[in-house]
Structure 1
Amino acid sequence: MTELSGGPTLVQERRVVTAIPGPKSQELMARKQASVAGGVGTVLPVFARRAGGGVLEDVDGNSFIDFGSGIAVTSVGNSAEAVVRRATEQLNDFTHTCAMVAPYEPYVQVCEELAALTPGDHAKKSALFNSGAEAVENAVKVARAHTGRQAVVVFDHGYHGRTNLTMALTSKNMPYKHSFGPFAPEVYRVPVAYPYRWLTGPENCAEEAAAQAIDQITKQIGADNVAAIIIEPVLGEGGFIVPAKGFLPRIQQFARDNGIVFVADEIQSGFCRTGQWFACEDEGLVPDLITTAKGIAGGLPLAAVTGRAEIMDSAHSGGLGGTYGGNPVACAAAIGSIETMRELDLPAKARRIEEIMKPRLEKIAEQSGVIGEVRGRGAMLAIELVKPGGKEPDPEATAALAKACHQQGLLVLTTGTYGNVVRFLPPLVIGEDLLNEGLDILEDALSGL
C-alpha cells in the first residue's frame, strides 16, 4: 500500500535496518541535547525523515508502524494529498496577514465547516487559535463573559493543557504541573465515572460518580457560581477513560438546569477518531461549547472554540484572537483535512480499526495476565497494565513494553494518571496489514516482559 502525498511515495512497510536508535539519530540526539531545553522530552529516540499513511521513516532508513499519529494529530496521514495541495496553494498566495488585521476566506470557511460538523442544529460561531490549550483557555474566557461567574469545574484524570490556567485544569502532576505553580484560581475538581477503578464496581459507576460530582459542586462551590463544566468525552492523558454510560448526560443536564456552560474538550477525541465526528455524539450530547485541535488540520497548528452563537458572542470585540490564530496556511490545511475525512469516510475507517484491534487486544489481554482492561472506541484504544492478581498499576512494565515495541519498529505511546496505560492512535488511513503486524509485535513484546 502506498499513500499519494506531496513528495515521493512512501512504501507502507515496517523496516528495521539498524539498532534503535541508529547512528544518524544518535548524532542528532547529541545536537538536540546541546541546544534544546531539557524539558522538551522525547518518546521515540529517533529523528523522522518522512512519514505518511501508516508509517514513519527515520534518518537511518528504519520505518516504524505508526500507532501514535503525532498524538492523534495526523488522522488523515502525515502527508495527505488534499492537505499538502491546499496548504501549498495558500503558501504561494500569502503566509500571514493576521486575521484580526486583514481577514481571509479560509478562516471563515473553517468556521463554517465547524458549524456544520459539530453536534446540534442551533446557530453556531467559532474562534480559531493555535493549540488545544489556547482553545480551552478561550472557552473559559467565553463562559465567564457569558455567565458573569468565575468558577470552573473539571474532573479527576482530566488533561486540558500546559498554560497556567490549563495546568490548573489538568489533574496529573508529573510531568505537566510539577514545580510550575502557583496556578490559576477558581478551579475545582470532582470525581469522574472511571468504571475500571470505581470502588463499588462498574455497574454503580455512572450514578454514584454523577451524584458525588453534583453534590460537591452544589455544596463546595455553589452551582450559581460556576461559569463552566469542562470534560473530555473520552479522557485522553488520564488513560483513555471512557466514562460509564449515563454519566455525561447527567452532568450536562445539571449544567443546563443551573445556567452553566457545558464544554466538551474534544481536542484528542475529535475529528473521526472515535468512529464518529466527535466523541460526545456517542450519547447524543450537544455541548454549549466544543474545543478542537490536534486532528483538525492534518498536522498544522490550528485549534478552535465552537459553540452557541449567543454564548460565543458574549466576548467583546477584540477580546478573542491572537497574532497567529487561524493562520491562513493552517486553515487551508484544515479544509483539505476535512475534505479527506469526508471523501474517505474516516469515521467508518475508525470503526473498522476498532473491529480489527479490539478483539485482538482482548485476546492478548486474556493470555497476558498483566492487562487489567482493554478500552476505548474507534481508533482511540488502550490497555491498562497492572501487576498480576490485582489492579495495582504497573508503570514499569508499561514503559518496558513501549520500549520493546519501539525496538521492533512499532511506535506506541504511554499515558494514564498512573503511567500504566499504552494507548493506540493509528492514522485512520493505515493499512489493515500494518494494524495486524503491529498487534503481532505488541503480543510478542508482552510475552517477553
Structure 2
Amino acid sequence: MNAAAETTDFLAVESELGAHNYKPLDVILTKGEGVWVWDVDGKKYLDCLAAYSAVNQGHCHPRILKAMVDQASKLTLTSRAFRNDQLAPFYEEICALTNSSKVLPMNSGAEAVETAVKCVRKWGYEVKGVAENQAEIIVCNNNFHGRTLNIVGFSTDPSARKNFGPFAPGFRVVPFGDAAALEAAITPNTVAFLVEPIQGEAGVIIPPEGYIQAVREICTRHNVMLILDEIQTGLGRTGRLLAEEHEGVVADLTLVGKALSGGFYPISAVLSNSEVLGVLKPGQHGSTFGGNPLACAIARESLKVLVEEGMIENSAKQGAYFLEGLKKIRNNAIRDVRGRGLMLAVEFHPDAGGARRYCLELKELGILCKETHEHTIRFAPPLTITRDEVDWALERIERVLTQ
C-alpha cells in the first residue's frame, strides 16, 4: 500500500469505528524526537502543541525512555494494597522540588481535580466546620479543568455542558482575573477557590498582574483553600517550574500532570499542605494505578530532566524571543498576541474567518498547531526548542499570517 492510500485508510477507520469527539488535523504521526514529529509519509513537522504541554521535555526523551524501560522490566504495578520502592522517592523528590508537604498521585489531570474537590470538601466539614453537604467551591468563567461529569458541571462552555446534565451542586462561578468578584462571592460555606494561573484552553488568557497574589491573600483571610490547577501551566511551561512562582505565591493545593511523565505514561499529582490531604483515611479515596512504580519511576526522571537540562530557563528565554517575534507580525486580522514562557497565543478578530485555516496552512509548511475557541492559535512547543528552531517557525508563521 502506498503512503497516500495508507493515510486514507487510517482516516476511514477512525471515522467509521471511533467516536467523533475530536476534530484533529488530518496528519497521521508515526515518530517523534525532541521538538520534531514525522507522519506516515515521512514528512517532518515542528510540534507547536506538545500534546497540550504533556511533552515539555520533548518527544521520546532518551533519559525518560531508559527509566521507563528499566522499571518496566522489574515491576510495573502492585496496586496500593502493597508498597513499592519508587513511591517514597517520588514523594521526597517532588515535595522538595515544589515546596509541598504532602502529595497524592493519580493518573489524569481530571482525576487530580476530582481529588482536590473531594479533599477540600472533607476539610470544610471536618476542620472548618461547614454544615454537612453545604460546602461551596468558587471557580472562574471560561475555566477548563477536565471532562468528567462533575467538572463539566461547573464549566461555562456550552459545548462541554449541553445534554450532559443533571449536574452536581456546590459550585459558584466568578469572572477570571477579578479578585474583588472572588471576595464578594465568598460565604461561610466556601471551602476553596479553584483557578488556573493562566487559562490555557480558553486561549492563553493571562490575568492582570498581581491577581494570583491578591486571591492568595483573600483566601488566607477568609480561611478558604486556594487550589491552583497547574496541569497545563506547570512544570516549566511558563518559564518557571510552577506558574504560581511568577507572583511568589504558594497555593494550598497545586495540581500537576501532563509533563509529569514527559508524555510517556499517565500520571498526575495533588500537591498539598498537610491540613487538606491530612483528612483522608484508608479506604476514603484511591486508584488502582495511582502511585504505581512504573509511573513513579518515569515521573522522577521527568522532573530531573526538566531541572538538570535547563529546560525551565530555556522556556523563559526562548518564550520571550518567540513572543517578540510574533508581536512583530503585521496583519489587521490579529486582535492580540500574548504569552508567558512557551505558552503563547495569537488571537484573531471574530470576523476574520477563524484560526483553523491558518493551522491548516501552517501544517503544509511543516508546523503543527491547533486552534482553540475558534479564533485563537496556541503555540506551545516542547521546552527543548532552540533559537534557530524558533526562527524557522517564525519565518513560516509570518508567511502564513501575512499572505
- Show CA shifts across 1:128-180 (max 9, x none): 11110100110011111111142110001211010011112332222x32322
Choose the corresponding residue for 1:55, options 36, 44, 60.
36
C-alpha distance in 1 between matches for 2:49 and 2:203:
14
The equivalent residue for 1:197 is: none
Choose the corresponding residue for 1:124, options 101, 117, 132.
101
**Structure 1 residues 426 and 90 mapped into 2: Cα distance closer, same or farther (>3 Å)?**
same
Deviation at 1:371, TM superposition (A): 1.5
The equivalent residue for 1:188 is: 172
Deviation at 1:323, TM superposition (A): 1.1
Residue type at the aligned position of 1:247: Y
C-alpha distance in 2 between matches for 1:394 and 1:45:
25
Map of 1:90-101 to 2, 5 A cutoff? 90-98=71-79, 100-101=80-81
The equivalent residue for 1:381 is: 344
C-alpha distance in 2 between matches for 1:80 and 1:394:
41
2:245 equivalent to 1:276: no
SS at match of 2:86: helix
The equivalent residue for 1:297 is: 261
Cα RMSD (Å): 1.7
Map of 1:192-231 to 2, 5 A cutoff? 192-193=176-177, 209-215=178-184, 217-218=185-186, 222=187, 224-231=188-195
C-alpha distance in 2 between matches for 1:329 and 1:437:
37
The equivalent residue for 2:196 is: 232
CA contact (8 A) 1:405 1:442 kept: yes
Residue type at the aligned position of 1:171: T
Map of 1:434-445 to 2, 5 A cutoff? 434-445=389-400
The equivalent residue for 1:446 is: 401
The equivalent residue for 2:334 is: 371
Choose the corresponding residue for 1:77, options 46, 58, 76.
58
**Structure 1 residues 177 and 113 mapped into 2: Cα distance closer, same or farther (>3 Å)?**
farther
The equivalent residue for 1:427 is: 382
SS at match of 1:49: strand
**Structure 1 residues 315 and 446 mapped into 2: Cα distance closer, same or farther (>3 Å)?**
same
- Show CA shifts across 1:406-446 (max 9, x none): 12221012224xx2111111001123322221122211111
Residue type at the aligned position of 2:203: G
Residue type at the aligned position of 2:87: Y
Deviation at 1:22, TM superposition (A): 4.2
Choose the corresponding residue for 1:43, options 15, 18, 24.
24
Choose the corresponding residue for 2:145, options 160, 177, 194.
160
Deviation at 1:114, TM superposition (A): 2.1
SS at match of 1:65: strand
The equivalent residue for 2:6 is: 24
2:235 equivalent to 1:254: no
CA contact (8 A) 1:128 1:321 kept: no
Deviation at 1:96, TM superposition (A): 1.2
CA contact (8 A) 1:274 1:377 kept: yes
Aligned residues: 393
SS at match of 2:255: strand
The equivalent residue for 1:9 is: none
**Structure 1 residues 396 and 112 mapped into 2: Cα distance closer, same or farther (>3 Å)?**
farther
Deviation at 1:357, TM superposition (A): 0.4
Choose the corresponding residue for 1:334, options 294, 299, 309.
299
CA contact (8 A) 1:394 1:420 kept: no
CA contact (8 A) 2:320 2:340 kept: no
- Show CA shifts across 1:43-91 (max 9, x none): 2212211101111111111111110101100011111111100110111
CA contact (8 A) 2:333 2:352 kept: no
Deviation at 1:211, TM superposition (A): 1.6
Choose the corresponding residue for 2:95, options 115, 130, 149.
115
CA contact (8 A) 2:344 2:380 kept: yes
SS at match of 1:213: helix
C-alpha distance in 1 between matches for 2:190 and 2:266:
31
Residue type at the aligned position of 2:103: S
SS at match of 1:237: coil
**Structure 1 residues 81 and 259 mapped into 2: Cα distance closer, same or farther (>3 Å)?**
same
The equivalent residue for 1:202 is: none
Identity %: 31
SS at match of 1:397: coil
Runs of 4+ deviating beyond 4 Å:
none
Deviation at 1:395, TM superposition (A): 7.2
Choose the corresponding residue for 2:48, options 67, 79, 84.
67
Map of 1:137-152 to 2, 5 A cutoff? 137-148=114-125, 149=130, 150-152=135-137
Residue type at the aligned position of 1:227: V
The equivalent residue for 1:307 is: 272
C-alpha distance in 2 between matches for 1:298 and 1:22:
31
Mean alpha-carbon deviation: is it higher for 262-271 or for 355-364?
Answer: 355-364
CA contact (8 A) 1:75 1:295 kept: yes
SS at match of 1:93: coil
Q: TM-score, normalised by structure 2?
A: 0.94
Residue type at the aligned position of 2:91: C
Deviation at 1:394, TM superposition (A): 4.5
Deviation at 1:310, TM superposition (A): 2.1
- Show CA shifts across 1:326-359 (max 9, x none): 2322221111111111211111110121132011
CA contact (8 A) 1:160 1:169 kept: no
Residue type at the aligned position of 2:196: E
Deviation at 1:225, TM superposition (A): 0.5
SS at match of 1:314: coil
Choose the corresponding residue for 1:415, options 349, 363, 372.
372
Deviation at 1:320, TM superposition (A): 2.3
Choose the corresponding residue for 1:324, options 272, 289, 298.
289
2:136 equivalent to 1:171: no
C-alpha distance in 2 between matches for 1:332 and 1:146:
31
C-alpha distance in 2 between matches for 1:127 and 1:411:
34
